[in-house]
Amino acid sequence: QAWANGINEAGKLALLAWEKETGIELVQINGQRHYGGPPPGWLCGPPPAGTEVYIARLPQDIYENTLIPLFQSVGTLYEFRLMMTFSGLNRGFAYARYASLQDAQRAINTFHRFPLRRGCAIVVCWSTQKHELVLRDVPASVSQQELEAGLQMVTEGLRSVTLHASPCHRPARLAVLKYRSHRAAALAKKALTEGNLRLGKEGIRVDWLGPQLKKKLQHCEEEPWSSWVQGDESLAVPEPVAMPLSLQNVLECLNMVCWKHHLRTPLFFTKCVQVNPNGWQKFWYQVEIPGCHVPISGFTWVSPDRQGQSEQEKAKLVAVLHFLQVLGESLHSQLPAF
């Protein structure tokens, strides 16, 4: 393996010799060098949540040949991730995931303020498992579907995307991205910071979603507004959903459209994620077409049931109408201009 500029050659050669001697394989992906996940000989499933520790204030010329044996000495190490610079030095921090909570706690008790070198005490504490990012300065012309499609292309592990009006600078918008794990979110943050996703003429800003901003966004959502976004317009649901359409009729229309255009039957998913004091329920919904990798999703508020229709059916009705609108726009864009 080649590194740039001959920096810390002795340390790098020692690492290569240790890898050869132990048979351990380290894999570097997007600025993180990995051991394990699972390690050799591991026969069980992944460890429970909360077994990862954060290691900071590492000397930048120290590598896994020193760190892995050290952290293995107190428990079974499932995974070790060392953050790397382009020059091949470490970035001063790492993550160690253990097989059990007891092993992780033992690592903290043993190695927090441990003098790795004279005058160099490291920090070891519980890892903060952040899963959410915030994108700022999202252009008003970008729809939620376009944003999701772009994110799916440049990041992995995306669970959900919600668009919000900025609490401070309307009509600027921001998006909250939720990923399946801290690692997926961290890799996504790196990819987005490097400019792998561009929306409009200007670049976007990405950061971890902090508790203060999250609280502001939740406060802004106390009133029932849908985050189903089309272009620069959010479709509100200010009244109980009592459309002159029945779910059965709309589904029959959907099935006819899908049959006509040789599409497989869409799958619908809905889940209540919030209930406010006056009984309104906020539903997340997603529509997936088998064979299509870009699902349609959004949020909608529905009123307490006063029309003989369940809240779940009302949310599904919104999802069907959303899908029909997106499908109609897609088919219209394929027609020749006259």
CATH number for the domain harbouring residue 149: 3.30.70.330
- Asked if residue 41 and residue 24 are part of one domain, the reply reads yes
Q: Is residue 155 one of the residues assigned to a domain?
A: yes
Per-position b or e across 267-298, b if 16+ CB within 10 A of its CB = ebebeeeeeeeeebbbbbbebbbeeeeebbbb
Question: pLDDT grade, residue 329 (50/70/90)?
Answer: low
Q: Is residue 82 one of the residues assigned to a domain?
A: yes
Instruction: State the Cα torsion 283-286-287-289 to the nearest 10°.
Output: -160
- Asked if residue 274 and residue 174 are part of one domain, the reply reads no
pTM: 0.50
Domain containing 280: what range? 248-327
Where is the domain boundary, 73, 101, 126?
Answer: 126
In this structure, of 75-79, 124-128, 333-337, the range with the lowest mean pLDDT score is 333-337
Residue 246 corresponds to which amino acid?
S
**Does residue 81 carry a pLDDT above 70?**
yes
Number of domains in the chain: 3
- Asked if residue 202 and residue 148 are part of one domain, the reply reads yes
User: DSSP characters for 147-188?
Assistant: HHHHHHHH-S-EEEEEEEE-SSSTT-EEEEEEESSHHHHHHH
For 139-195, how does the pLDDT look when each residue is reduced to its tens digit (9 = 90+)? Answer: 877 777 778 888 888 888 888 888 887 665 555 678 899 998 887 888 888 888 877
**Does residue 237 carry a pLDDT above 60?**
no
Residue 24 corresponds to which amino acid?
I
